[in-house]
Amino acid sequence: MKRIENFKSIIDKYEIIFFDAFGVLKTYQGLVPGIQKTFEYLEAQGKEYYIVTNDASRSPVQLAESYHKAGLANITPDRIVSSGMLTKEYLGLKVEDGIVAFLGTPESSHYIEGAGLHTLPVSAINSDNIDKVNAMVFLDDEGFNWCDDLNKTVNILRKRTIPVIVANTDKAYPVSLADVGIAIGGIAAMIESIIGRQFIRFGKPDSQMFMFAYDLIREYRPINKTQIVMVGDTLQTDILGGNKFGFDTVLVLSGNTLPKDVENRITSTGIVPTYICDSAVVELDELGF
Amino acid sequence: MKRIENFKSIIDKYEIIFFDAFGVLKTYQGLVPGIQKTFEYLEAQGKEYYIVTNDASRSPVQLAESYHKAGLANITPDRIVSSGMLTKEYLGLKVEDGIVAFLGTPESSHYIEGAGLHTLPVSAINSDNIDKVNAMVFLDDEGFNWCDDLNKTVNILRKRTIPVIVANTDKAYPVSLADVGIAIGGIAAMIESIIGRQFIRFGKPDSQMFMFAYDLIREYRPINKTQIVMVGDTLQTDILGGNKFGFDTVLVLSGNTLPKDVENRITSTGIVPTYICDSAVVELDELGF
Amino acid sequence: MKRIENFKSIIDKYEIIFFDAFGVLKTYQGLVPGIQKTFEYLEAQGKEYYIVTNDASRSPVQLAESYHKAGLANITPDRIVSSGMLTKEYLGLKVEDGIVAFLGTPESSHYIEGAGLHTLPVSAINSDNIDKVNAMVFLDDEGFNWCDDLNKTVNILRKRTIPVIVANTDKAYPVSLADVGIAIGGIAAMIESIIGRQFIRFGKPDSQMFMFAYDLIREYRPINKTQIVMVGDTLQTDILGGNKFGFDTVLVLSGNTLPKDVENRITSTGIVPTYICDSAVVELDELGF
Amino acid sequence: MKRIENFKSIIDKYEIIFFDAFGVLKTYQGLVPGIQKTFEYLEAQGKEYYIVTNDASRSPVQLAESYHKAGLANITPDRIVSSGMLTKEYLGLKVEDGIVAFLGTPESSHYIEGAGLHTLPVSAINSDNIDKVNAMVFLDDEGFNWCDDLNKTVNILRKRTIPVIVANTDKAYPVSLADVGIAIGGIAAMIESIIGRQFIRFGKPDSQMFMFAYDLIREYRPINKTQIVMVGDTLQTDILGGNKFGFDTVLVLSGNTLPKDVENRITSTGIVPTYICDSAVVELDELGF
């Protein structure tokens, strides 16, 4: 574990950088100040990067648009790997036909739609169509009535022995400096415990997320794990998952892990990043790089 | 473990009978057919009984009224011991002043009110009064907006280091032959996991529930544990709790545990009742008892 | 929560003091220096006390002897309430005959023996007597071969649907300044998870422990919960359990909870003692009390 | 989910077959009777296969030898993918130097040795070399003194903030028709709970196991997930893991899952295999295939 002063030296050491989104590139207030310089430097150096996120609430196209609006103009949808993409792949491989019931916004469901599958919100499931429900997906904590639709979800799953996919494993997420929101991963864990089943969870720290991104790269170029570094703000997801997959890892202190807690948290969890850095912002000197 | 044909022989063996409510005396359809005869027989034999229930949604007075309406005219409020009563005792002993925030219906909150304490629904907590919140109680799954108030609860508990009481430990409860509802115990477990704290849980199988009822009796008469039997439909609450406290136990098959599953469930959980009986209904012969 | 300088003022406020043993009266090095003065003061003031301990490795008589040897001459066996005593009560009420198999030293088993019951170490169970095994008790981490007897325990429990009692719920205990030992509570949790059953656990924070002591007192004098204070060094057992039962509680910093961690631990667990005090040692002024 | 009479039709449908070892190819009694025919048929049809096993107690070379001795002469070490191999890869990528402490037999440790790393049994760790311990690996339940070395492991991990790898996630394994043994995965879970950390677990149902095998294949030929089928006897490891990775799956009833329980288990876990088949034995007709 090494303290790094300038994130620039991380970029210089690796071929490809994986970034977590929330707490690394943006916070509840918008972009992390100065993060544009990091992407300028990546571009100037011809380094590749991917944004590897547990956010299944929107498609990569929509996520990229939100970065453009915020001022990161260069991020294209093909740079974004989300747990929603693993859900889409799973449904394509394992569910042949029928209805995929979901909890989430309409936007979150559009891009998991595929050939032969009909996505319907849980609220639209009834006694006429329940027998055609062949999968259930937890996508987002918004877009449905919690009381009505969570009770309905429990009862659909008691009647149908079908795969259940949780596309975002986080239990909570920050909504302001002081407050958090309950995430769909926390809600899914409650339902899992009530009906006594084990759901399929995509999203960091699960390896399949890293493998999906790693495979995307290997389709167009040779690479090995030592040439990639994972940058994240959360020990239990980004760093644990990156370490386990075999990547080097950087813990940044711009999100979930505060500078005053970092030592304690590493000791108590036993999760050790390769590097610690204040943020993923590149500090450029005046004469260029 | 002995199979008993007629619940009458159970009553004959013990001084005091403890009944679980849901699945033993009533179901989602109303009273268990014939259960009136059991209470007639108890009365005729001069046997005492208590209803020991995880239901904190209403006061003993309101619960007794609901039995009267259903046709069990003799059940008086002093025969009912609920997890809500332990909550009330806890608040009286351990919380001196300030606000008790709660999740549940207004009815559920009325009877936990006490000297010096002001009960307020979570929806009424704001930046002006949050500093006076000295306890949080989970009472019932109804009476609040799940999305708004559960998110609010998480954030209140992140700001206030206060005791949290879960007055009903059940995760789900039956609402029809086919369907269940998510109970406040399941919701509380989700919040517990999100904020990483351990809440105070009253309600079976916790011993404090049995002790509360046992103490009520000892105030007016001498008794020992071998003279009391606990009758319930659920291995994990009624039977486990009763056994642990030292009571004999009767599993009835009119609720949660179906006749076809009983053997399997006992073997897999390792929770063994003293007796098994189809129901708590006393079958009386034609010539009287 | 109030910081208290001198433990004397705690004694002055209550009728009866409950002490945890390890971390409060003694550590791995022997008695807490100066703790004799506390017992002198208790005696001088005519205050009652009980030692409420999760230690089921020895009988109250043996535990009292160990205090005498260490220099606390006044502690009599009737002042000691251990989780082993609840185990003995349970077996007396709920197991009529046959063999009680146990993990622990011979000493730990002697005093759970009772009328009609034969206690045998797990190592002595074989195909001839397994059908008579009617209960299993986890008493102590010493006195058996871990590999042989833990494997044997798993297989006995797969063959016999019997109650399993864990007489010490602690997962680990300190053996030196730097090192801990795995406690029988940690071992029991492993077996529980392997065979998928829920064992009966006595010992703090479980209420039944506090009730047992409370009942002992009420047999010879009237008392109510506000007149008793529980003194302990561990938030998750002594303080959580004492609070839940309705007692006032004192966290002392001579054991498990270090002065530098106390604030953090209270905030992160949400378990709040009534008082915090450096130790349970009474500081007497020169002129007597 | 389709009931399949003859495993032959499974082989005919896929390019590559992944087999679990225990409960599919062998049991505690030796090879599953007739399983040789399956490998003859695979050979005759030119189909590829891999044995994907949570067994980290021996190297692929030693595992292959044990199949030869038992009568499966054609299985070569390169056909075997074990959780031990992922451990070796992890150590190669993430631990640069120092000592790797392990629990297991000497044989289990030999093949995780690598450049710059020194493997030492936990029993050989002492105050002189503890500062050089840079990783801990749980390999096998044999080869060490449970009481001494598990206590020692807890204390090493309290002193060293290092990655801990569990190379076999199973909690128990069958040792005879009636009995099971506690597996290193169960022991590791106990230590995890005692020290409050999250270990790195390789082995099914974790995706990284399937990815490792999938990657081996892709190095020498193009393949996609629909051309591979995973055959296993355990819903929670083989089938859950295979499904999640996107493979079709076959549950065989020659091991952990008994024919009488299969329907119940699928309903209660919600884990649904693509096919169910009595065993992985190919029934050949008299005229050849």
Segment A253-273 mean pLDDT: 92
Query: Strand A200-201 and strand A164-166: pairing?
Result: parallel
Token pair, residue A189, equals: 């864990």
Give A24-53 pLDDT, tens digit per residue.
999 988 999 999 999 999 999 999 999 999
Q: Which residues pair with C135 in a beta bridge?
A: C100
Residues D145-191 have pLDDT tens digits of 999 999 999 999 999 999 999 998 889 998 998 899 999 999 999 99
Mean pLDDT of chain A: 94
- The tens digit of pLDDT for each residue in C122-180 reads 999 999 999 999 999 999 999 999 999 999 999 999 999 999 999 988 899 989 988 99
Strand partners, A232: A251
| B184 contacts B219 by C-beta, under 8 angstroms | no
On the CB side of A127, how many CA atoms lie within 13 Å of its CA? 2
pLDDT digits (tens, 9 = 90+) for D188-234: 999 999 999 989 999 999 999 999 999 999 999 999 999 999 999 99
**Between the CA of residue C158 and those of B104, B129, B274, C155, what are the distances in Å?**
42, 55, 20, 5
Q: What is the ipTM of this complex?
A: 0.92
- Tell me: the pLDDT tens digits for C81-98? 999 999 999 999 999 999
Residue D61 vs residues B79, D38, D55: alpha-carbon distances, Å: 71, 21, 13
pLDDT of residue D284: 79
Q: Are the C-beta atoms of residues D281 and D9 closer than 8 Å to each other?
A: no
- Give the whole-angstrom CA distance, residue D98 versus residue D163: 13
What's residue C289's pLDDT? 54
Contact A42, A10 (CB under 8 A): no
D180–C171 C-beta distance less than 8 A: no
What integer pLDDT is reported at residue B194 of this predicted model?
A: 95
pLDDT band at residue A286 using 50, 70 and 90 as cut-offs: low
Does residue C286 surpass a pLDDT of 60? no
Provide the percentage of residues in chain D whose pLDDT is more than 70.
98
DSSP states of D10-56: HHHH-SEEEE-SBTTTEETTEEPTTHHHHHHHHHHHT-EEEEEE---
- Residues of C within 8 A of D151 (CB-CB) are 181-182
Cβ distance of C147 and D145 shorter than 8 Å = yes
List the structure tokens of D127: 């105050």
Taking 50 as the pLDDT cut, the residues of chain B under it are: 287
Sign of CA dihedral A72, A78, A79, A85: positive
D151–C182: do the CB atoms touch at under 8 Å?
Answer: yes
3-state secondary structure of A172: strand
Q: Are B233 and B21 in contact (CB under 8 A)?
A: no
The answer to whether residues A172 and A161 touch, using CB atoms and an 8 Å cutoff, is no
pLDDT at C177: 84
Does residue C25 have a pLDDT over 60?
yes
D180: Cβ–Cβ under 8 A, 6 or more apart, which residues?
Answer: C154, C155, C158, C194, D172, D173, D174
CB contact under 8 A, C243 and B163: yes
Q: Which chain D residues touch C155 with a CB distance below 8 Å?
A: 178-180
Beta strands in D208-289 (DSSP E): 228-232, 248-252, 275-277
Amino acid at site B285 = D
Angle between helices D207-218 and D83-94 (to 10 degrees): 80
Distance from D254 to chain C by nearest Cα, in Å?
A: 20
Backbone angles phi and psi of C84, in degrees to 5: -65, -30
Are the Cβ atoms of D147 and C150 closer than 8 angstroms? no
**Predicted confidence band at C110 (pLDDT cuts at 50, 70, 90)?**
confident
CA of A43: how far to CAs of A23, A66, A74, D32, in Å?
22, 20, 9, 58
Best CA proximity match to D72, nearest among D55, D95, D49 = D49
Q: Which of B1, B161, B197 to mutate to test the interface with C (most CBs of C within 10 A)?
A: B161
pLDDT in tens, A190-241: 999 999 998 999 999 999 999 999 999 999 999 999 999 999 999 999 999 9
Pairwise CA distance, residues B24 & B253, whole Å: 8
The pTM score is 0.93
Band (pLDDT 50/70/90 cuts) for residue A137 is very high
In A, residues 134-163, which contact D (CB 8 Å cutoff)? 157, 161-163
Chain B nearest CA to A10, separation (Å): 33
Closest Cα to residue C189, out of C256, C141, C236?
C141
Q: Which two tokens stand for residue A69?
A: 């609006």
Q: Are C261 and C237 in contact (CB under 8 A)?
A: no
Give chain C positions within 8 Å (CB) of D150.
146, 182
- Return the residue matching tokens 């034609």: B286
Do the strands C180-182 and C172-174 form a parallel or antiparallel pair, or are they unpaired?
antiparallel
Domain boundaries, chain C: 84-201
**CB spacing of A243 vs D163 below 8 angstroms:** yes
Instruction: Inform me whether the C-beta atom of residue A171 falls under 8 Å from chain B C-beta atoms.
Output: yes
Token couple for A4: 């790094």
Distance (Å) from the C-alpha of residue C244 to the closest C-alpha of chain B?
Answer: 7
A243-261 pLDDT per residue, tens: 999 999 999 999 989 999 9
CA B6 to chain centre: 25
Structure tokens at C268: 């992160």
What backbone phi and psi angles, to 5 degrees, belong to C39?
A: -75, -30
pLDDT tens, position by position, A110-131: 888 877 899 999 999 999 999 9
Compute the count of residue pairs across chains B and C with CB atoms less than 8 Å apart: 79
Q: CATH classification of B84-201, choosing from 3.40.50.1000, 3.30.210.10, 3.40.1130.10, 3.90.226.10?
A: 3.40.50.1000
Query: Mean per-residue pLDDT for C35-63?
Result: 94
Q: Are B282 and B263 in contact (CB under 8 A)?
A: no
Q: CB of C231 within 8 A of CB of C238? A: yes
For residue D238, the 8-state DSSP code is I
Residues D91/D135, Cβ–Cβ less than 8 Å? yes
Q: Which residues of A touch D229 (CB under 8 A)?
A: none
Per-residue b/e over A200-231, b at no fewer than 16 CB within 10 Å? Answer: bbbbbbbbbbbbbbbeebeeeeeeebeebbbb
- What value does the mean pLDDT take over residues A150-175? 94
- At residue D110 the predicted structure's pLDDT band, cuts being 50, 70 and 90, is confident
Rounded distance, CA C191 to CA A61, Å? 49
> How far is B253 from B274, CA to CA, in rounded Å?
14
DSSP secondary structure, D159-185, as one string: H----EEES---SEEESSSS-EEE-HH
CB within 8 Å of chain D, chain C residues 203-262: none
Q: What confidence tier does D288 reach under pLDDT thresholds 50, 70, 90?
A: low
CA–CA gap between residue B191 and residue D269 (Å, rounded) = 24
Q: How many angstroms separate the CA atoms of B143 and B105, rounded?
A: 4
Residues of chain C in contact with residue B245, where contact means CB-CB under 8 angstroms, are 208
Average pLDDT, chain C: 94
User: Which chain D residue lies closest to C176 (C-alpha atoms)?
Assistant: D155
When pLDDT is cut at 50, 70 and 90, the band that residue C288 belongs to is low
d(CA D70, CA B158): 60
Question: What b/e sequence results for A129-155 when a residue is b if at least 16 CB atoms lie within 10 Å of its CB, and e otherwise?
Answer: eeeebbbbbbbbbebbebbebbbbbbb
The pLDDT value given to residue C74: 86
